[in-house]
Structure 1
Amino acid sequence: MDTSVLRPELLMVADAVSREKNIDREEVLEAMEQAIQKAGRAKYGHEKDIRATIDRKTGEVRLSRWTEAVEHVENEDTQISIHIARKFQPDLKVGGHLVDPLPPIDFGRIAAQTAKQVIVQRVREYERKRQYNDFKDRVGEIVNGTVKRTEYGNMMVEIGSAEGLLRRDELIPRESFRNSDRVRAYIYDVRDETRGPQIFLSRTHPAFLAKLFAQEVPEIYDGIIEIKAVARDPGSRAKMAVISKDTSIDPVGACVGVKGSRVQAVVAELQGEKIDIIPWSPQAATFVVNALAPAEVTKVVMDEEAGRVEVVVPDEQLSLAIGRRGQNVRLASQLTRWDIDILTEAEESERRQDEFRKRTALFVDTLDVDDVIAGLLVTEGFHTIEELAYADPSELNEIEGFDESVADELMTRANDYLAGKEQELDDKRKELGVVDEIADLGVFTNQMLVTLGEKGVKTLDDLADLAGDELVEIFGADVMDESVANEVIMAARAHWFDADESAE
């Protein structure tokens, strides 16, 4: 019985598909073998291990049934006893396979259609895999493509032999493309997905603007000028911070170009988006001032812990600093990564006077001094009673109108006030029923002990029953972090282990 059939046309088809889809010939032949295997199982039984091979030189197709030799048969369709198998192949070992040639199958209409579906599916999988491998290292590049089709506002862009997805929300507002239009976009992600597009494109990404400038400005491409940060409101306005590694080259002027030729080329690509190019500075305050251009800034107050900066501008510059619908300050905040608060000089002056009045009243009420002395303390930078109580006496002696006796008296009153306040808190702690053992841990202030009492934590067992995150929630993350909270709770649980050891 002839168990093979020559099909040289299979090799010709494999070569044609390989060239057309840019897929390895071997992968196409493997897909054909799987299609023939599926047709063979449909004829001889899906539960059997049917395998097909195509000779890579002649196109000869062979079909065979593989049966595994085992000691104890569990599946009669795919396994055979080693003792029976050795009657057909004496040298066969356990785990080996007995291969029975099968006659070639005659592909009917349904079998041929099934085989075609298998081949098409496998070819698509190989094509998708090749596309991913070709583009996975091209994230961050600008590509030119052609709009192939539009689906619900999302565009499929043909990039050579691959397809990319340009979603509607990644398009600049009010711009539209038709089929066969040329489009330039930025590759921001490439994903290995089983279905659908893998290459994701954008025209609104901040890096798209930076890459466009790298194409237009040779100094950026050569690395002489570096783009440090970009913030965009796509289609409307953008800010870009640049710095030059060569002091003889003006980074802003190089990006603008002669008569604005370079920046205008980028603006035209971005549908008229206005671009502010500003010099980057390592000094945060200077960078914030530059970012708020064209508005003028008279004063900057930085709060590094909170990541906030207060900017004071002249009254007539307020609208310019904020921009239309807050656009200017929003872009400046994105560019500098600082939260920016805009104040006019009048607002800042009023707030400063209000703070001066509140602090003066604090010293008048707590230290029993007149407005003049309280005002001098605030003017010299004392904001709280604690700062005054723990101050160096020489600092107070240097204040005009103060001598050593006045300084000593002020510090004594400040310390007496703090001591009285601590005593009040300690009395309140005892009144709430917070035991001394918690205070003896040496971790909590009297104010914290009162807070514990108000939350119902009054004994060591109450404290020991808490979890670290619960203790942090009571005081706030700015007062106690979770690692310290866990140490405190373990210290509170120590008496449990002592009791266990005593019992043993």
Structure 2
Amino acid sequence: MAITSANQLELLQTAEAVAREKMIDPDLVVQAMEESLARAAKSRYGSEMDIRVDIDRKTGKATFTRVRTVVEDEELENYQAELTVEQAKQYMADPSVGDEIRDEVPPVEMGRIAAQSAKQVILQKVREAERDRQYEEFKDRAGTIINGVVKREEYGNVIVDIGRGEGILRRNEKIGRESYRPNDRIRCYIKDVRREARGPQIFLSRTDPQFMAELFKMEVPEIYDGIIEIKAVARDPGSRAKIAVISYDGSIDPVGACVGMRGSRVQAVVNELQGEKIDIIPWNEDQPTFLVNALQPAEVSKVVLDEEAERIEVVVPDEQLSLAIGRRGQNVRLASQLTGLDIDIMTEAEESARRQAEFAERTGVFMEALDLDEFFAQLLVSEGFTSLEEVAYVERDELLVIDGVDESTAEELQARARDFLEAANKKALEQARELGVEDSLVEFDGLTPQMIQALAEDGVKTLEDFATCADWELAGGWTTVDGQRVKDDGVLEKFDVSLEEAQNMVMTARIQLGWVDPAELVSEDDAETDEIVDDEEEAEA
């Protein structure tokens, strides 16, 4: 097949037709044709030649050009596509390295094999352009809802026609009891769009919490306008969900706006989610208050928050326990997802029993250490004293407010407490030294004898050993394993050493050993402060 004047215009017509069918730029199709013709010309004139083809965008005329590049003498390798400066003087007056010499060559006759190869090149380029167009179209639509038509089902995964492409709804992204047949209309959430070798992959979901948030945005104009914001969503797909909302307009009730007149707005979302029950909860910046709301419809008697551990204890009336936990733990699980906290639920009876046990334990400690009778020890605990250190080193006036305690009694109590603590410290230090603790650790500021003993029992016997510890190894912490938060016990956790205190102690030890330069720490802190200031200024701007 030769490129003659009879079929020159046909090239452009073919390019236009393919571009319209695939919805891509016609110029991309013409470029693919130029590349395929250049490849066919190389097979005719020689693969080492640099043959380029240019198709006129108006007439369709294809021009074949041989290109040779001027290179240094020592860099000359390909005699068909390169030439030296001296050789180039035959073709131009003042050649320099990098100049190109172009000679037009006759068009080629394309045999059957060359024509088939050219067709494959064009198809591949068109396919790549089509994939790029599809990826560019959908990459910015991730996080939105799309309507589609079910095409087929493969191994439980649903292939959905979404207009200019196909999406895949995996079986784990379908609501449990849903089933689809070809040509069924379906509404999905675009969870992710990835560029892969086989083309862009568009992953859909109907179980993602944000799918429900987007449905509410479509049904509730106040959310779309930003007057009401969805702060958190938790779902047990197909069964139950909780959504936390806040209103930035004091005259608009966020819960009422989401429910709608006679429940019309929330019912539209429920119908789309196959009857999934939805609890709409007012969001509150105060975590305990927010949690009380999140556990509805159960009533809560008391909330105790441990911010460092991100755990929270909730006390409910005995008859409300099953309601607070929910069927198969559903209610408390959703409330935990919504608040981002681990929740421990106990009844008032269980909480009372625990408080009584703590009261008895502290009473016993005071009775033994201070040689007191049970009544006096209970009196101390009732007044809020929890440890011997508090009794020993508290201001004496705080002891004098206790009924029956005068100046001499308070002095005697503190003397007994100090004597007991000194004896305990001496014993702990002796045991630590027996375990091989060095003076460098004993003399380190911030560690009590009991802490030193605990470290020695854990194998930390020198200041170098202490400096290599991680802060969580000392203070304890939490690790997420397979989606579950697991407790990491710290060596000094029983002494109420916080994570920040552990960090400071370890860093101080490293500075004392010369492992860290304090000046570098100061410069890093200054840099972080500058970054924060810059971010704040950008936000204000």
Q: TM-score of the superposition, structure 2-length normalised?
A: 0.84
Change (3 A) 1:20 1:286: same
Shift of 1:371: 1.0
Report if aligned partners of 1:468, 1:489 keep a CA contact under 8 Å in 2.
yes
Letter paired with 2:32: A
Shift of 1:457: 5.2
Q: Does 1:271 align with 2:242?
A: no
Letter paired with 1:203: R
Please give the per-residue CA displacement for 1:68-121, whole angstroms capped at 9, x wherever unaligned: 211221333432222122213334321112223332222222222222222222
Counterparts of 2:460 and 2:336, CA distance in 1: 43
Q: Which residue of 2 aligns with 1:356?
A: 359
Q: Which residue of 2 aligns with 1:129?
A: 132
Q: Which residue of 1 aligns with 2:169?
A: 166
Q: Which residue of 2 aligns with 1:291?
A: 294
Q: Does 1:442 align with 2:445?
A: yes
Q: Which residue of 2 aligns with 1:498?
A: none
Gaps in structure 2 of 5+ consecutive residues: 477-497, 516-541
Counterparts of 2:251 and 2:423, CA distance in 1: 65
Shift of 1:271: 0.7
Find 2:325's aligned residue among 309, 317, 322: 322
Q: Does 1:417 align with 2:416?
A: no
Q: Which residue of 2 aligns with 1:282?
A: 285
Please give the per-residue CA displacement for 1:334-385, whole angstroms capped at 9, x wherever unaligned: 1111111111122111111111111111111111111111112222222222
Q: Which residue of 1 aligns with 2:531?
A: none
Shift of 1:290: 1.1
Shift of 1:181: 1.7
Q: Does 1:335 align with 2:356?
A: no
Change (3 A) 1:358 1:100: same
Counterparts of 2:351 and 2:110, CA distance in 1: 87
Q: Does the residue aligned with 2:28 lie in a helix, a strand or coil?
A: helix
Shift of 1:58: 0.8
Counterparts of 1:325 and 1:472, CA distance in 2: 37
Counterparts of 2:72 and 2:388, CA distance in 1: 89
For the aligned residue pairs, the C-alpha RMSD in angstroms reads 2.5
Report if aligned partners of 2:131, 2:199 keep a CA contact under 8 Å in 1.
no
Change (3 A) 1:414 1:484: closer
Q: Does the residue aligned with 1:407 lie in a helix, a strand or coil?
A: helix
Q: Which residue of 2 aligns with 1:501?
A: none
Counterparts of 2:467 and 2:503, CA distance in 1: 6
Report if aligned partners of 2:152, 2:160 keep a CA contact under 8 Å in 1.
yes
Please give the per-residue CA displacement for 1:443-496, whole angstroms capped at 9, x wherever unaligned: 54323433454455555xxx44x59554657635556656753541352358xx
Please give the per-residue CA displacement for 1:288-339, whole angstroms capped at 9, x wherever unaligned: 1111111111121111221111111122211111111110100001111111
Counterparts of 1:77 and 1:373, CA distance in 2: 107
Q: Does the residue aligned with 1:16 lie in a helix, a strand or coil?
A: helix
Report if aligned partners of 1:3, 1:103 keep a CA contact under 8 Å in 2.
no
Counterparts of 1:383 and 1:372, CA distance in 2: 16
Report if aligned partners of 2:474, 2:502 keep a CA contact under 8 Å in 1.
no
Q: Does 1:116 align with 2:130?
A: no
Change (3 A) 1:251 1:374: same
Q: Does 1:405 align with 2:422?
A: no
Q: Which residue of 2 aligns with 1:62?
A: 63
Q: Does the residue aligned with 2:195 lie in a helix, a strand or coil?
A: coil
Find 1:143's aligned residue among 134, 142, 146: 146
Q: Which residue of 2 aligns with 1:492?
A: 513
Counterparts of 1:398 and 1:314, CA distance in 2: 35
Report if aligned partners of 1:145, 1:184 keep a CA contact under 8 Å in 2.
yes
Letter paired with 1:373: F
Q: Does the residue aligned with 2:250 lie in a helix, a strand or coil?
A: coil
Instruction: Map 1:459-498; keep pairs closer than 5 Å.
Output: 463-464=463-464, 469-470=468-469, 472=471, 475-476=474-475, 481=502, 484-492=505-513
Counterparts of 2:186 and 2:509, CA distance in 1: 61
Q: Which residue of 2 aligns with 1:23?
A: 24
Shift of 1:9: 0.8
Report if aligned partners of 2:48, 2:78 keep a CA contact under 8 Å in 1.
no
Change (3 A) 1:469 1:156: farther
Q: Which residue of 1 aligns with 2:12?
A: 11
Letter paired with 1:64: T
Aligned length: 489
Report if aligned partners of 1:297, 1:313 keep a CA contact under 8 Å in 2.
yes
Change (3 A) 1:86 1:484: farther
Report if aligned partners of 2:53, 2:65 keep a CA contact under 8 Å in 1.
yes
Q: TM-score of the superposition, structure 1-length normalised?
A: 0.90
Q: Which residue of 2 aligns with 1:433?
A: 436
Q: Which residue of 2 aligns with 1:499?
A: none
Q: Which residue of 1 aligns with 2:102?
A: 99
